[in-house]
Amino acid sequence: MLDGCVPWPPEVAERYRAAGYWRGETLGSLLRGWAERYGDRVALVDADGVRVTYRELDAWCDRLAAGFAERGIGPRERVLVQLPNTPAFVAVCFALFRAGALPVFALPSYRGNELRHLAELSGAVALVVPDLVRGFDHRELARDLRAEVPRIAQVFVAGDPGTGGDGFTALSDLERAPAALPEPDAGDVAFFLLSGGTTALPKMIPRTHDDYAYQSRITADLCGLDADTVYLAVLPVEFNFPWGCPGVIGVLGTGGRVVFAEEPTPEVCFPLIERERVTMTSVIPTIVHLWLDAAGRTGSDLSSLDVLQVGSSKLHDEVAARIEPGLGVRLQQVFGMAEGLLTFTRFDDPRPVVLTTQGRAVSPADEIRVVGTDGRDVPDGEVGELLTRGPYTLRGYYRAPEHNATAFTEDGFYRSGDLVRRTADGGIVVAGRVKDVVIRGGDKVSATEVEGHLTAHPAVQQAAVVAMPDALLGEKTCAFVVPAAGGPAPTLPQLRRLLRSRGLADFKLPDRVEVVDGFPLTGLNKVDKKVLAARAAELVQAGPAAADAG
Ligand code: OOB
């Protein structure tokens, strides 16, 4: 395996191969097989309706791979890829797979700070960017990055490379006649995902051909994908969820069709769903709210939409219950992480399981432990930290020996930092993050728990609970709430009354409520609690809230 990565122990790898999980196939060669099987069927559709067949995609990747190889971008070289949701993203990634080079997925929202960090950490030699996205010129960003990190010698632009004398190359000029290239080892790294940590700059997660092919295959199976599946990529495809859970790769493996949305809004997505007869998509809870609100008022025909996967942050029970009636879909809850482990609810699960749990592991070889602060397993039903290892869960972040020493147990379990409880049927229910607690005097208040109760109030659409500094208690609880569309904003006394009536201990009731229009999000679409906590601290400085705690 690539230097700087932590391989699975040889006997474990052997077990995964013997069980047929790892089949020794590279992602680049898999695409070859899909093109042979599905030939002239449409594989990719961009937002404007431009179609790319399987055969065309295969040939496109070959021409780009030959171009990359001719430019010296060969085996194990890292390449930063920052592209919006377009067919070019898929073509560039599979071309790099075939050239043996390793894409490092950079989110479209990343700017100088994050890109510099990734460029330095990865040692990338090249960068692939779009030209303009919603008025933002990624070529300028590329120019600055190259000045700061000279190792990035080449910049490729999807679109117009500009005439500024930068020597940037248009992807269309990179294409060369297909050439025979050495096949990478399927056990080696194929690409890097980024960690979703909200507190620090992202870490790089090596994903191998074997492990990712397995993950996308079993999740495609579990979702019953076939050649009639039309998948709408709504979330940025650099994100594990839409890329391979089963996402783009899972859909391509079954002969289905991927439609790209460049924005998650109903205004962009609903017409695409109608136009392309989309059958499935994956979103985060904040998008669910937008879609539920819009479903009634827009005239779009969403009747083709069959499956809505929701994951990436906690879907509270009350919201879950509105999805199937509100959108006319089957809900699938997905808990996952770029690091690996995925748990899904199943379509034949009893309703309460679909509505109130985050599902069961997708692989029989996923190992899950739920441990207390002493590191011992807690009984089912009790909350503890989720530890996991398995055939598609990393054994170490890239070039991070110090962090790895604490992020993994000695026997290779990844410490997720998620608090969960296990259900009787082996599923999990997310209860919060190890660090997402307000320490109010001596009491610990789980932000997720309080948020769940707050969203039960009809006037509350979304809630995010953070700590605010307090002279007496150290921390107090501040609840930011987004009011339900068109309704009056809830007041602190109302919310406290509701929580009391739901049997919550007094110490868990919010000390302050701030009504906002929406939440700041991190690049990876989690509510950015760092920003909210800073805002709460400023509010405390500025003086007491209007309403008193009742
Ligand atoms: C997904 O991946 P990441 O790497 O951006 O974030 C992982 C973290 C998890 O450790 C957990 O804290 C949180 O996101 N999370 C959820 C959740 N799904 C993820 N928290 C509560 N409920 C859920 N359903 O977010 C991700 C990757 C693949 C598939 C789906 C999500």
Look at residue 224 in the predicted model and tell me its pLDDT: 98
Look at residue 192 in the predicted model and tell me its pLDDT: 98
Mean pLDDT within 137-150: 95
CB of 334 shorter than 6 A to ligand 1: yes
Which of 203, 286, 312 gets mutated to test ligand 1 (max ligand atoms within 8 A of its CB)? Answer: 312
CB of 524 shorter than 6 A to ligand 1: yes
Which of 335, 362, 370 gets mutated to test ligand 1 (max ligand atoms within 8 A of its CB)? Answer: 335
**Residue 255 amino acid letter:** G
Structure tokens at 380: 């089912």
Model confidence at 314, pLDDT cuts 50, 70, 90, reads confident
3-state secondary structure 222-287: HCCCCCCCEEEECCCCCCHHHHHCCHHHHHHCCCCEEEECCCCCHHHHHHHHHHHCCCEEEECHHH
CB of 196 shorter than 6 A to ligand 1: yes
Query: 523: how many CB neighbours lie within 10 A of its CB?
Result: 20
CB of 311 shorter than 6 A to ligand 1: yes
Q: What number does the ligand 1 atom closest to the CA of 448 have?
A: 21
Asked if residue 16 has pLDDT above 70, the reply is yes
Mean pLDDT within 212-236: 98
User: Percent of the chain having pLDDT more than 90?
Assistant: 84
Q: Which residues pair with 189 in a beta bridge?
A: 208
Look at residue 226 in the predicted model and tell me its pLDDT: 98
Mean pLDDT within 519-526: 84
CA of 154 to the centre of ligand 1 (A): 34
Residue 58 in contact with residue 83, Cβ under 8 Å? no
Structure tokens at 535: 């805002």
**Residue 214 DSSP SS3:** helix
Q: What number does the ligand 1 atom closest to the CA of 525 have?
A: 5
Residue minimizing CA distance to atom 7 of ligand 1: 337
Asked if residue 286 has pLDDT above 90, the reply is no
In tens, the pLDDT along 486-497 reads 889 999 999 999
Mean pLDDT within 512-536: 91
CA of 289 to the centre of ligand 1 (A): 18
Look at residue 197 in the predicted model and tell me its pLDDT: 56
Model confidence at 110, pLDDT cuts 50, 70, 90, reads confident
CB of 312 shorter than 6 A to ligand 1: yes
CB of 171 shorter than 6 A to ligand 1: no
DSSP letter (8 states) at residue 507 = G
CB of 229 shorter than 6 A to ligand 1: no
Beta strands per DSSP E along 200-289: 204-208, 230-233, 257-260, 280-283
CB of 124 shorter than 6 A to ligand 1: no
**Residue 11 DSSP SS3:** helix
Q: How far is CA 467 from the centre of its chain?
A: 26
Residues across the chain: 550
CA of 385 to the centre of ligand 1 (A): 14
Stated pTM of the model: 0.90
Look at residue 147 in the predicted model and tell me its pLDDT: 94
Look at residue 107 in the predicted model and tell me its pLDDT: 87
Mean pLDDT within 495-523: 91
Mean pLDDT within 293-301: 90
Look at residue 548 in the predicted model and tell me its pLDDT: 44
User: Percent of the chain having pLDDT more than 70?
Assistant: 98
Residue 269 in contact with residue 232, Cβ under 8 Å? yes
Look at residue 415 in the predicted model and tell me its pLDDT: 96
CB of 337 shorter than 6 A to ligand 1: yes
Q: How far is CA 316 from the centre of its chain?
A: 18
Cis status, amide bond into 246, omega within 30 of 0: yes
Residue 164 in contact with residue 171, Cβ under 8 Å? no
Residue minimizing CA distance to atom 22 of ligand 1: 314
Residue minimizing CA distance to atom 8 of ligand 1: 337
CB of 309 shorter than 6 A to ligand 1: no
The alpha carbon dihedral of 421, 281, 293, 531 has a sign of: positive
Look at residue 442 in the predicted model and tell me its pLDDT: 66
CB of 332 shorter than 6 A to ligand 1: no
Structure tokens at 462: 């979304």
Look at residue 504 in the predicted model and tell me its pLDDT: 83
In tens, the pLDDT along 195-221 reads 875 446 789 999 999 999 999 999 999
Q: What angle do CA 126, 130, 136 make, to 5 degrees?
A: 120
CB of 419 shorter than 6 A to ligand 1: no
Mean pLDDT within 307-321: 93
CB of 335 shorter than 6 A to ligand 1: yes
Give one DSSP letter per residue of 467-487, joined into a string.
EEEETTTEEEEEEEEEEPTTS
CA of 538 to the centre of ligand 1 (A): 29
Query: 55: how many CB neighbours lie within 10 A of its CB?
Result: 16
Q: What is the mean pLDDT of the chain?
A: 94
CB of 529 shorter than 6 A to ligand 1: no
Look at residue 471 in the predicted model and tell me its pLDDT: 85
Nearest one of 67, 61, 62 to 92, comparing CA atoms: 61
Q: Which residues pair with 474 in a beta bridge?
A: 440, 470
CA of 47 to the centre of ligand 1 (A): 27
- Bigger pLDDT: 461 vs 524: 461
Structure tokens at 113: 């700070």
Domains in the chain with CATH codes:
437-548 (3.30.300.30)
HSE, side-chain direction, 13 A CA sphere, residue 236: 18
Asked if residue 433 has pLDDT above 90, the reply is no
Lowest mean pLDDT among 10-24, 44-58, 287-301, 536-550: 536-550
Mean pLDDT within 404-433: 94
Mean pLDDT within 326-343: 97
CB of 45 shorter than 6 A to ligand 1: no
CA of 343 to the centre of ligand 1 (A): 10
In tens, the pLDDT along 235-277 reads 999 999 999 999 999 999 999 999 999 999 999 999 999 999 9
Which of 313, 337, 433, 434 gets mutated to test ligand 1 (max ligand atoms within 8 A of its CB)? Answer: 337
Asked if residue 550 has pLDDT above 50, the reply is no
Residue minimizing CA distance to atom 12 of ligand 1: 418
With 0-12 / 13-18 / 19 or more C-beta atoms within 10 angstroms meaning exposed / middle / buried, residue 3 is exposed
CB of 452 shorter than 6 A to ligand 1: no
Q: Which residues pair with 437 in a beta bridge?
A: 446
CA of 240 to the centre of ligand 1 (A): 9
Provide the terminal-to-terminal Cα distance of the chain, rounded to the nearest Å. 60
Nearest one of 67, 60, 68 to 90, comparing CA atoms: 60
Max CA distance (Å), the chain: 73
The label of the residue with tokens 């805002």 reads 535
CA of 312 to the centre of ligand 1 (A): 4
Look at residue 353 in the predicted model and tell me its pLDDT: 97
Q: How far apart are CA 333 and CA 315, in angstroms?
A: 8
Pairing of strands 460-470, 443-446: unpaired
> Burial letters for 154-163: b for 16+ Cβ neighbours within 10 Å, e otherwise?
bbbbbbebbe
CA of 313 to the centre of ligand 1 (A): 6
Asked if residue 86 has pLDDT above 90, the reply is yes
CB of 344 shorter than 6 A to ligand 1: no
Model confidence at 523, pLDDT cuts 50, 70, 90, reads confident
Q: What number does the ligand 1 atom closest to the CA of 433 have?
A: 12
Give one DSSP letter per residue of 132-157, joined into a string.
EETTEEHHHHHHHHHHH-TT--EEEE
